[in-house]
Amino acid sequence: MSLVQRLMMKILPARWAEDMRADSERWKIRCPSCGHERSIWEIGGIRWRAAGQPRRLWRCRECGKVAWHIIYRKESA
């Protein structure tokens, strides 16, 4: 966990902290070049009670290209 994640997990009530983690794990960041995707939580971020589909300039750890990665919420099937 990143420093911000650890801090938030300590200061929030346990139920909120678990909701934050679960919500952040549903948000994915996908490389437009190779299609590799990871959860926002996995890369050390928090995206809790958020909306929209922002893009971030990011270096893909799989293909190494810097591109505008798509952030989206992946709903459970």
**Is the overall model pTM greater than 0.85, yes or no?**
no
pLDDT band at 77 (very low <50, low <70, confident <90, very high): low
Residue 54 has pLDDT above 60, yes or no: yes
pLDDT of residue 76: 66
Average pLDDT, the chain: 92
Q: ∠ CA 46-52-37 to the nearest 5 degrees?
A: 60
Residue 53 has pLDDT above 70, yes or no: yes
Which sign, positive or negative, has the C-alpha torsion 37, 42, 39, 52? negative
* Out of 8-12, 22-26, 49-53, least confident range: 49-53
Closest CA to 29 of 2, 77, 67, 1: 67
Q: Residue type at 30?
A: R
